Amino acid sequence: MTVIKLTSQDGKPVEFVPTLIGQGGMKDVYFSPDHTYVVAFYRDKLDHASNERLQAIVGSFRDGIFNRAGGDYWQNLFRWPTGIVEWGGRTGITVPTYQSHFFFEHGSKNDDMLKIKGREKEGKWFSSASNRNSFLDPRELGTWLSYFRICILISRAVRRLHAAGLAHSDLSYKNVLVDPAGRNACIIDIDGLVVPGKYPPDVVGTPDFIAPEVMATSRLAKADPKRFLPSITTDRHALAVLIYMYLLYRHPLRGGKVHDQDPARDEELGMGERALFVEHPTDASNRIRLDQVKKSALPWADAARLPFTLTGPLLAPLFKRAFIDGLHTPSARPTADDWEFALVRTVDLMQPCQNHTCQAKWYVFDNTVKPTCPFCGTAYRGLLPVLNLYSSRKAGTYTPDNHRVMVYDGQSLFPWHVNRNVFPNEKLSGDQTRRVGYFRLHQGIWYLVNERLPDMKDLTTGKAVPPNSHVDLVEGKRLLLSTEEGGRVIQVQMVVG
Amino acid sequence: MRRLPVYLLLDTSGSMRGEPIQAVNVGLRAMISALRQDPHALESVWVSIITFNRSADVLMPLTPVDLLQLPDIVAPESGVTHMGLGMETLIEQVRHEVTRNSADRKGDWAPLLFVMTDGSPSDIAAYQDAIPVVKGLGFGNIVGCAAGPKAKLSYLLELTPTVVSLDTMDSASFGQFFSWVSAAVARGNRSQGLSAAVDLPPPPPELQVVT
């Protein structure tokens, strides 16, 4: 085996096997002998700005995210370039290899008829209804809840980039690996990061994800002041599209409206200056025409049957902001932070579908109508406890937090349910990510089992509920979870299914 | 969901007999599997194969890539290269298979055409008559492939400025060519550069781009 030995700019040894393993848009990729990292060489000579950008990406930007408290958390969410090498006049970067769960374990149906086992789990496989229905092995698909976790991770990673003043500039299902079965996601192709005012973008993005203002001005010269280039606000558009596609398996702007006879021009208008949400409440001209879609795209292509509002009361307003208010007004788009918050809160509203053959397996119950799975139509049977969370901002009084938890059998109670000041994200320490109690349905009665809450008290009866004891959940019951600052009271409501 | 129609117009004249035609078969199979392994191509690409020798045959009408059963392509003992006839058949097929945008229905993406020959047209007049018609069919890209030392570049260059040439007609060369074709076809969902031009992927070193 021939191995080429180089030294990176910061003096570390780098080795690679000169057998091409892949070609990206701009780079040729080679494995290190032990396959722990790849070396990707740019085919074209880099200009001064691109070189400087790479220096910053492997240097100060990397340090800013990874080399500080909690930095390890991001190792799983980004495949971040680690070094720069030169070889035969070409510039290359070293990047850690993708983790094994990002390669198909089962691949496609019928004994992997497409022969994709071992290949990268590119996001497009999972965001397309027809690929899901016709080709992927069901064991690869995960449940609807898996995609909430994936979207949370992606939003969190994008939020982190934006917080550092960086724009990814080319978010797409090609540049985000997902693992629905194991509920993982990871952002790749980070070498194109855009720093406003410093390092301009060198791509406009990937079709499906290019923001309308970028598409609409793509024919103007690069230096034209009217031209829009990828930025943090265009990342926000791409993020909204990603989330919409991972939760609804269709594209928010690809409907039936014809803008021009020439397909290329039609695309440019439909994704650009005339972009229109397929589910726009008053303008129905871009609805998905069911007579024009493949059977295998159903039921997801049927937006009337599965509207975006089924994502619940926290996410639906964000989709409206992204695809109605903010579609042509970049400043109105939801931020990555908005998405992360809404997704995390929506997980508290999820119910497992009681139909064991339901493909989605989970749905959002928003407490407005009788709980029914929108995907398979199965109605919830039995009593469903809904917890309304209150917390104290002034001693002795409790005010609603506008936060609900829909209980299911086996569900966990976490520190972020117990205290208003705790939010689940990368900042939580190990102990804060562990459950403090759980819910059980036993012989027709719902119980909350306290595992680690020292101050828990049943306010209705005045009795303490110490760790390793339990309390039953009935209509109107109030439970104090914590006496600490920000500690919560839950009020139980029983919904009859 | 728009379709991306891909037309392959392949020379199966007598000179292709033997290793070259075997290599084409192997290369085509690899190309189809590669397209099936691309989630974007899998749901949008439709392929048609038209061959020409003495006659022209629609070996495979426009078919979605996931349903495509590739027949074995054979070449006759000997015979002429009726490339003009092949082009006429292509024109016929494109006219009735490719859906254009209408006022209320989205049509197909602009189709792609790959023309491969190892020689030159025996029916030059028919070939040259067909060229302006083919150019007027709205192809997004036309790529010529001149295979082996006897292929005449000049005829392909009349059809398209994008011509690649293969030095040899073995499985390695055809393999490279068809894997490049699949990369070009799957290009639709790649990151796009700042310039608006439709770009083909860079050819591997074995493929010489003539222009």
pLDDT tens profile B37-46: 999 899 999 9
Q: Residue B37 has what pLDDT?
A: 92
Judged against a pLDDT cut of 70, whether residue A440 lies above it is answered with yes
Q: What is the pLDDT of residues B62-79, one digit of tens each?
A: 999 999 999 999 888 878
Interface size, chain A vs chain B, as Cβ–Cβ contacts under 8 Å: 98
Q: Taking the domains of chain A in order of start, what are their residue ranges? A: 4-97, 102-348, 382-496
**Pairing mode, strands A412-413 and B56-64:** unpaired
Q: What is the mean pLDDT of residues A317-323?
A: 98
Structure ipTM:
0.86
**Pairing mode, strands B4-11 and B112-117:** parallel
Contact residues on chain B for A208, CB-CB shorter than 8 A = 189
Confidence band of A369 (pLDDT split at 50, 70, 90):
confident
Architecture of the domain defined by A4-97: 2-Layer Sandwich (3.30)
Contact residues on chain B for A116, CB-CB shorter than 8 A = 37
Q: Residue A68 has what pLDDT?
A: 83
Which of these ranges, A17-26, A179-188, A322-331, has the smallest mean pLDDT?
A17-26
Judged against a pLDDT cut of 80, whether residue A268 lies above it is answered with yes
Q: Residue A111 has what pLDDT?
A: 94
Confidence band of B174 (pLDDT split at 50, 70, 90):
confident
Q: Which CATH class is domain B4-188+203-209?
A: alpha beta
Q: What is the mean pLDDT of residues A228-246?
A: 96
The sign of the torsion formed by the CA atoms of A423, A426, A432, A433 equals: positive
The residue ranges of DSSP E strands in A88-241, in sequence order, are 90-96, 176-179, 184-187, 203-205
Mean of pLDDT over chain B: 87
Q: What is the pLDDT of residues A99-144, one digit of tens each?
A: 999 999 999 999 999 999 999 999 999 999 999 999 999 999 999 9
* Residue of A20, A132, A135 to mutate, interface with B, max B Cβ within 10 Å: A135
Q: Residue A26 has what pLDDT?
A: 80
Q: Residue B195 has what pLDDT?
A: 59
Q: Taking the domains of chain B in order of start, what are their residue ranges? A: 4-188+203-209
Q: Residue B141 has what pLDDT?
A: 87
Q: Residue B210 has what pLDDT?
A: 66
Q: What is the pLDDT of residues A72-92, one digit of tens each?
A: 899 999 999 999 999 999 999
Q: Residue B188 has what pLDDT?
A: 65
A135–B42 C-beta distance less than 8 A? yes
Give A149 or A47, the one with higher predicted confidence: A149
Confidence band of B103 (pLDDT split at 50, 70, 90):
confident
Judged against a pLDDT cut of 90, whether residue A489 lies above it is answered with yes
Confidence band of B1 (pLDDT split at 50, 70, 90):
confident
Confidence band of B179 (pLDDT split at 50, 70, 90):
confident
Q: Residue A50 has what pLDDT?
A: 86
CA distance A318 to chain B (A): 26
Nearest-angstrom CA–CA distance, B40 and B188: 8
Q: Which CATH class is domain A102-348?
A: mainly alpha
Q: What is the pLDDT of residues A164-212, one digit of tens each?
A: 999 999 999 888 999 999 999 999 988 888 887 778 787 888 889 999 9
A229–B100 C-beta distance less than 8 A? no
Contact residues on chain A for B188, CB-CB shorter than 8 A = 207
Judged against a pLDDT cut of 80, whether residue B200 lies above it is answered with no
Give B27 or A311, the one with higher predicted confidence: A311
* Residue of B31, B194, B195 to mutate, interface with A, max A Cβ within 10 Å: B194
Contact residues on chain A for B103, CB-CB shorter than 8 A = 258
Q: What is the mean pLDDT of residues A401-429?
A: 93
DSSP-assigned states of every residue in A160-203:
HHHHTT-B-S--STTSEEEETTTTEEEE--GGG-BBTTTB--SE
User: What's the number of CA atoms in the CB half-sphere (13 Å) around residue A253?
Assistant: 28
Q: Residue A423 has what pLDDT?
A: 93
Judged against a pLDDT cut of 90, whether residue A477 lies above it is answered with yes
Q: What is the CATH number of domain A382-496?
A: 2.60.200.20
Confidence band of A151 (pLDDT split at 50, 70, 90):
very high
Q: What is the pLDDT of residues A335-355, one digit of tens each?
A: 999 999 999 999 999 999 999
Judged against a pLDDT cut of 70, whether residue B189 lies above it is answered with no
Of B37, B39, B190, the CB nearest to A206: B190
Q: Find out whether B86 and B121 touch, Cβ atoms under 8 Å.
A: no
A23–B183 C-beta distance less than 8 A? yes
Q: What is the mean pLDDT of residues A483-497?
A: 92
Residue A143 to residues A247, A298, A362, Cα–Cα distance (Å) = 10, 17, 7
Q: What is the mean pLDDT of residues B81-90?
A: 95
The residue type of B10 is L
Mean of pLDDT over chain A: 93
Confidence band of B181 (pLDDT split at 50, 70, 90):
confident
Judged against a pLDDT cut of 70, whether residue B190 lies above it is answered with no
Question: Considering only alpha carbons, which residue of chain A is nearest residue B193?
Answer: A203
Confidence band of A229 (pLDDT split at 50, 70, 90):
very high
The C-alpha angle with vertex B172 and arms to B40 and B34, in degrees rounded to 5, equals 15
Nearest-angstrom CA–CA distance, B59 and B48: 8
Tokens of A171: 């978010």
